């Protein structure tokens, strides 16, 4: 039984990593199609440094399927990126298209904004496309509102977005 539990945990990690890689690939495909210059540095800092006509965009991709423990690390990432890329007084964009955020996570993000005098923009895919076309109007990220502060993503929307097919 222990092996079965371990296998399920490893499968969960594999699925999360695969979903994250798919999101990064989707961003790269979009940027390449639009001929937008960028630097991609997964596992060595913020995922994307994107050169646009209105300046450099620093963007990280987070592809959690539910609001939860991964989201709790967003504030730590913000702190690390502000220090590493000297973004105090600037902006960080986080592409987080699949779920809402808990009230506590939103508060921790706001704390980092106040601490570093920066703006953190939580983007869905549509907002990312708007940002790249210089039509971006910031909107509040959806808060997970059910009793447990967990929200489930819409699997149909995820399959359509990534064009998943059974093999």
Least confident of 32-36, 79-83, 148-152: 148-152
Query: Which has the higher per-residue pLDDT, 165 or 50?
Result: 50
pLDDT (0 to 100) of residue 124: 87
- pLDDT digit string (tens) for 92-111? 999 988 777 888 888 999 99
Q: Report pLDDT digits (tens) over 114-154.
A: 999 999 998 889 889 999 998 877 766 555 444 344 444 55
pLDDT (tens digit per residue) in 39-79: 999 888 899 999 988 889 999 998 865 555 677 889 999 99
pLDDT top residue among 162 and 110: 110
Q: Tell me the CATH number for domain 2-162.
A: 3.40.91
Domain boundaries, the chain: 2-162
State the pLDDT at residue 146: 42
SS3 sequence of the chain = CHHHHHHHHHHHHHHHHHHHHHHHHHHHHHHHHCCCCEEECCCCCCCEEEEECCEEEEEEECCCCCCCHHHHCHHHHHHHHHHHHCCCCCEEEEECCCCCECHHHHHHHHHHHHHHCCEEEEECHHHHHHHHCCCCCCCCCCECCCCCCCCCCCHHHHHHHHCCCCC
pLDDT for 92 equals 93
């Amino acid at each position: 039984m222990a092996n079965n539990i371990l296998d399920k945990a490893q499968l969960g990690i594999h699925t999360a990593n695969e979903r994250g890689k798919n999101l990064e690939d989707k961003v790269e495909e979009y940027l390449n199609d639009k001929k937008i210059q960028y630097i991609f540095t997964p596992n060595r800092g913020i995922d994307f440094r994107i050169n646009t006509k209105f300046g450099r965009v620093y963007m990280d991709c987070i592809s959690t399927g539910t609001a939860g423990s991964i989201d709790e690390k967003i504030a730590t990432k913000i702190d690390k990126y502000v220090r590493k890329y000297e973004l105090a007084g600037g902006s960080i964009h986080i592409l987080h298209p699949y779920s809402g955020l808990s009230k506590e996570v939103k508060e921790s993000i706001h704390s980092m904004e106040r601490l570093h005098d920066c703006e953190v923009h939580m983007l869905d895919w549509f907002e990312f496309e708007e940002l790249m076309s210089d039509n971006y109007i910031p909107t509040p990220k959806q808060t997970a509102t059910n009793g447990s502060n967990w929200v489930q993503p819409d699997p149909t929307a995820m399959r359509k977005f990534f064009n998943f097919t059974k093999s």
